[in-house]
Copies of this chain bind each other. A is one copy, B any other.
Amino acid sequence: MIYQRVALIGLGLIAGSMSLAIRRGGLAGETVGTARSAQTRDTAREIGLCDRIVDTVAEAVAGADLVVLCVPVGAMAAVAAEIGPHLAPGATVTDVGSVKQAVIDAVGPHLPEGVHFVPGHPIAGTEHSGPRAGFPELFDSRWTLLTPLEGGDPEAEAKLRALWEGMGSFVESMDANHHDLVLAVTSHAPHLIAYTMVGVADDLRRVTDSEVIKYSAAGFRDFTRIAASDPTMWRDVFLSNKDATLEILGRFTEELFALQRAIRTGDGEHLHSFFTRTREIRRGIIEAGQDTDAPDFGRRPKSSS
């Protein structure tokens, strides 16, 4: 047992998976959850997502030695302001937001003296959301990044690290700004690009939606999965990681223009050598256990692992 009482604020995919992973690992004496809407709280009660579901954030954080903010990045400031006065002295506050510097700026000012703030981000997700989306294996063999503040409490960080490891995750610490750049590359830019491509396909007059759907197995399908993610979450991510995302998209556009030019001029050598280079990274991902190379073509019966 690492914490006596873990309070989860927001009960979606991430909070739900955390609660189930904490239960699986026996990592907390008790989990208490709350969400904005009565509907989400009712669902969470019905499926027994936490040991206790309460109606207000004040109740949720009272007496908790760990409080986890599991709401969209744009909602972090308001939630932090609400919990601030109710936090137990010595408690640790963390979050799971996909952007880190903006969350530090939003949350930090609302936390009282004597409370430890250790921002975090599990690099694991699916395109589903809400209280029914969680499952205990979500963090297994995935990385969680902590972006501790300068002068923060090393013990608070070590305990939080132990919790994430207990939930199956690998853990690394880094600077918040570096986190935001790394995620702009591995997540934020790819999501925007996927959203864009799916939007374009949906817009074409000369190709019907039904054709796009039927023939999606030729590559397009892989884009629709990430473009089915929650719109609010992603709006907040882009608005709060503007600079890094725009920097990467700028590089992307530059490179795309070079490849378009190679297509137009018939420069097969440029294309071939570019396409050869990109295979290495895939190999690295398989070797690192972050994907399988099974010929996974979406025909398997639905399963939960």
State the A residues within 8 Å of B (CB).
98, 123-128, 135, 137-138, 140-143, 145, 170, 172, 178, 181-183, 185-204, 206-207, 209-229, 231-232, 234-235, 238-239, 242, 245-246, 248-249, 251-253, 255-256, 259-260, 263-264, 266, 268, 271-285, 288-305
Residues of B within 8 A of A225 (CB): 222, 282, 291
Interface of A is mostly: helix
Complex formed: what's the CA distance from A188 to B219 in Å?
Answer: 8
Q: Can you pick out 22 interface pairs between chain A and chain B where the beta carbons lie within 8 Å of each other? A: A123-B217, A126-B297, A138-B297, A172-B214, A185-B212, A188-B219, A189-B200, A190-B219, A190-B222, A191-B219, A201-B281, A202-B281, A204-B251, A213-B284, A214-B288, A225-B282, A239-B271, A242-B266, A246-B264, A253-B256, A293-B302, A294-B300
Verify B255–A196 contact, CB threshold 8 A: yes
* A185 touching B204 in the complex, CB below 8 Å, given contacts A192-B259, A221-B291, A301-B292: yes
Residues of B within 8 A of A194 (CB): 219, 222
A234 contacts which of B189, B190, B275 (Cβ < 8 Å)?
Answer: B275
Verify B124–A297 contact, CB threshold 8 A: yes
A271 to chain B, nearest CB (A): 4
A17 to chain B, nearest CB (A): 10
Verify A223–B275 contact, CB threshold 8 A: no
* A228 touching B143 in the complex, CB below 8 Å, given contacts A214-B290, A219-B191, A223-B222: no
* A195 touching B278 in the complex, CB below 8 Å, given contacts A212-B186, A222-B226, A295-B135: yes
Verify A271–B305 contact, CB threshold 8 A: no
Residues of B within 8 A of A304 (CB): 294-295
Complex formed: what's the CA distance from A191 to B285 in Å?
Answer: 18
Complex formed: what's the CA distance from A128 to B294 in Å?
Answer: 10
